[in-house]
Amino acid sequence: MFRRYFLSVLFSFIFYLFPVQVHAQEAPAGDELLGTGKYSDFEKPEVCGTCHMDFYRQWEQAMMSQSYTHHWDEIEYFKLAVPHAEKNEKVAGVKAGCNGCHTPVAFIAGDVPPPLPSENTRANEGVSCDVCHTITGFKGEVPFNFNYTINPGKVKYGPREGLQSPHHETKQSDFIQTTEFCGTCHNEKSPYGVWVKATQLEWSEGPYAKEGVRCQDCHMPKATARISKVSEVREGVSQHLFHGAHSPSKLRGAVEIRLHPDERVVEIDDMVVISVQLFNHKVGHKIPSGSAEERQLWLTVMAYDSEGKAYHLPVDKKGFEGEEYTISSNTLAYQDIGEIMDLPDFKGLARDDLPYEGDRVFRLPYFDPKGRMTIAQWHTASQGTDYRIGPRETKIETFTWELPADIAPGKVRVVAELNYRKLVKSVGEFLEVPAEEMKTQLINRSETWFTVEE
Ligand code: HEC
Ligand code: HEC
Ligand code: HEC
Ligand code: HEC
Ligand code: HEC
């Protein structure tokens, strides 16, 4: 009798200890998640929206609700990634793998490639409420390539302890409040072992990590509000804005600029050196980050003489290795698109396709296995010099200008503009991506002056 009692206590003790650990170790993550569940394991975002109305409306206009349906995602996946995966063994995994981040529910349901967005299936939910709120942790040393563990069901994991809901259980989670949570999808390694997205890694090396300012603090700012329409007002409620490169108000002013000439009074036939300081005071990681293979951030400096004549000033070279990729040029690049799409006569596309050649471009170039620039991050075998602007970093660029003999005497205005484009124009036009994706956005503008004397 006593022995039986002892054994049952022992067993329940063992059971008490182990299920959690066994779950944590054996729970599938990353590629192992493919086909481990069904669509119906997850609730639709509209259901959450009946009570969490504001969060729903915010999420609906953020990119994570469109991560499967957004035009450029659809084009890149179906026109480039899927055909490439079907003929190149090395990248075969991306046919399923893109979906581990872009439509996790379809990936877990094993529905790959998922139906086209126009078929209006549940794949269209993208990174939904129920995906993020049932993620429990990640497997491995570093969060990347959708290596999250996930436990869909009645329990919704959130930041607070003990909240009551009529629809579901709630459980406090430390993990959802970490940057590693975001990093499971915002860090990506290509099949060639190259970090092709490293937003969380960039953050972890920068000043905001030391100060404990997380992704959530800048992309989900806290406000006094209701968590659901049926609950009381609370403090520090995480707004689900997720505003990034697709939000002009997030981009605007992300980098500050000031500039000055070395001399205020310059003689015709003489030379002036303009210095421009660019201070990244707003971004918690590098700018550009994330899809850096297709983002462009460039500095244009123009001078206007007293009669209004305009002069474009090319940036001074600094002489570092790989600098040619940081100075705008229309040499041909992206030749791998021709191989992927079976276009034998394809010569490539203009590399930068910016209004001027000779401007500084703050970027990290991605190279295909043949060493040519690529916008296919999964086809990236190496990268060039990283010349993006880090968090709180200030870069200085100079422009040495030999004044032309016919410049009008008087005051010369010098204007520096920092602009941003999400997708290289030549690439977007070739692949028929809607023009809004290639629109130029002003990040900042500043000006200075000097006087020309005869
Ligand atoms: C399950 C994967 C996943 C998780 C987890 C995740 N994201 Fe995302 N996120 C994505 C995908 C995929 C996109 C790209 C959407 C698209 O196709 O443009 C994205 C886009 C974004 C964007 C928009 C960028 C732009 O270009 O405008 C922001 C901001 C963002 N995520 C922030 C976060 C933050 C902050 C966290 C953590 C609290 C997080 N994400 C967690 C997958 C994820
Ligand atoms: C019938 C209304 C209702 C529906 C539907 C609903 N919730 Fe809730 N939820 C609540 C209420 C009420 C709370 C507690 C709010 C409070 O106390 O301020 C809550 C709390 C939460 C929390 C805990 C927040 C924290 O701070 O820890 C999470 C996470 C959550 N809900 C996610 C979801 C998700 C995801 C869905 C859809 C799958 C959903 N909810 C659907 C009413 C609802
Ligand atoms: C990309 C992942 C992601 C998505 C998508 C997402 N959430 Fe959240 N949610 C979070 C994170 C992270 C927090 C906690 C933020 C923090 O720690 O500052 C949170 C917090 C919450 C909270 C608690 C707010 C508080 O202040 O206590 C609720 C409720 C919630 N989310 C519901 C939803 C609903 C409903 C949706 C869909 C409309 C949704 N979430 C979509 C990541 C996400
Ligand atoms: C100090 C505030 C701050 C922090 C912390 C921060 N971000 Fe950002 N993030 C920004 C700003 C500002 C932008 C807009 C400029 C840009 O696109 O780089 C941005 C842009 C983004 C973009 C779009 C990048 C692109 O170029 O397409 C993504 C994705 C993103 N953030 C995710 C994250 C994730 C994930 C974390 C945490 C690891 C994080 N952010 C931490 C401020 C922040
Ligand atoms: C590890 C997670 C992950 C994987 C795997 C992944 N992506 Fe993404 N993808 C993201 C995130 C996060 C962003 C948003 C980054 C940003 O805004 O800078 C993104 C952005 C994009 C964008 C740009 C969206 C825009 O609006 O500018 C496209 C297109 C895209 N992904 C296509 C793909 C394709 C095709 C694949 C497979 C070959 C793939 N992705 C694999 C996480 C992933």
- By CB neighbour count within 10 A (0-12 exposed, 13-18 middle, 19+ buried), where does 15 fall? exposed
- By CB neighbour count within 10 A (0-12 exposed, 13-18 middle, 19+ buried), where does 332 fall? middle
- Residue 176: nearest ligand to its CA? 3
- Answer yes or no: is pLDDT of 248 > 60: yes
The DSSP code sequence of 69-124 is TSHHHHHIIIIIIHHHHHH-GGGTTHHHHHHHHH-HHHHHTT--SPPPGGG--GGG
Q: How many A from CA of 283 to the centre of ligand 4? A: 6
SS3 28: coil
Query: pLDDT (tens digit, 9 = 90+) per residue, 258-308?
Result: 999 999 999 998 999 999 999 999 999 999 999 999 999 999 999 999 999
> What band does 25 get if pLDDT is binned at 50, 70 and 90?
low
- Answer yes or no: is pLDDT of 186 > 50: yes
> Which DSSP helix (H) or strand (E) runs through 5?
helix 2-26
- Per DSSP bridges, beta strands 360-361 and 169-172 are unpaired
Q: Which of 308, 306, 314, 310 is nearest to 274 (CA)?
A: 314
Query: pLDDT (tens digit, 9 = 90+) per residue, 85-137?
Result: 999 999 999 999 999 999 999 999 999 999 999 999 999 999 999 999 999 99
CA distance 240 to 56: 8
- Answer yes or no: is pLDDT of 24 > 70: no
- By CB neighbour count within 10 A (0-12 exposed, 13-18 middle, 19+ buried), where does 451 fall? middle
SS3 172: strand
CA dihedral 282, 373, 96, 71 (to 10 degrees): 60
Q: Is the CB of 132 under 6 A from ligand 2?
A: no
Pocket test for ligand 1, best of 60, 63, 157, 289 (most atoms within 8 A of CB): 63
CA distance 193 to 208: 27
Q: How many A from CA of 149 to the centre of ligand 2? A: 21
Q: How many A from CA of 64 to the centre of ligand 1? A: 5
> What band does 21 get if pLDDT is binned at 50, 70 and 90?
very low
- By CB neighbour count within 10 A (0-12 exposed, 13-18 middle, 19+ buried), where does 128 fall? buried
- Site of tokens 């920092």: 418
Paired tokens of 131: 């995906």
What percentage of the chain exceeds 70 in pLDDT? 94
**Whether 100 contacts 30, CB under 8 Å:** yes
* CATH architecture for residues 250-453: Sandwich (2.60)
Pocket test for ligand 1, best of 55, 127, 173 (most atoms within 8 A of CB): 127
> What band does 454 get if pLDDT is binned at 50, 70 and 90?
confident
Q: Which of 254, 218, 229, 266 is nearest to 389 (CA)?
A: 254
Pocket test for ligand 5, best of 34, 71, 73 (most atoms within 8 A of CB): 73
- Site of tokens 């009551």: 164
Q: Is the CB of 448 under 6 A from ligand 1?
A: no
Average pLDDT (51-76) is 98
- Per DSSP bridges, beta strands 169-172 and 155-158 are parallel
Q: Which of 62, 271, 74 is nearest to 82 (CA)?
A: 74
- Residue 374: nearest ligand to its CA? 5
Q: Where do the domains of the chain lie?
A: 25-238, 250-453
Average pLDDT (8-18) is 48
Amino acid letter, residue 337: I
The DSSP code sequence of 244-311 is -TT-HHHHTTSEEEEEEES-SEEETT-EEEEEEEEEE-S-SS-BS-SSTTT-EEEEEEEEE-TT--EE
More confident residue, 20 or 30: 30
CA distance 260 to 398: 10
Q: How many A from CA of 102 to the centre of ligand 5? A: 7
> What band does 348 get if pLDDT is binned at 50, 70 and 90?
very high
The DSSP code sequence of 216-248 is HHHHS-EEEEESSTTS-EEEEEE------TT-H
Ligand 4 pocket residues where CB is under 6 Å: 179, 182, 186, 199-200, 203, 208, 213, 215, 217-219, 244-245, 250-251, 254, 282-285, 287-291, 295
Spatial strand order of the sheet with 255-261 comes to 255-261, 271-280, 394-402
CA distance 325 to 78: 29
> What band does 26 get if pLDDT is binned at 50, 70 and 90?
confident
Average pLDDT of the chain to the nearest whole number: 95
- Answer yes or no: is pLDDT of 19 > 50: no
**What's the length of the chain?**
454
- Residue 150: nearest ligand to its CA? 1
Across 21-35, 223-237, 376-390, least confident range:
21-35
- Per DSSP bridges, beta strands 195-198 and 222-226 are unpaired
Q: Is the CB of 185 under 6 A from ligand 1?
A: yes
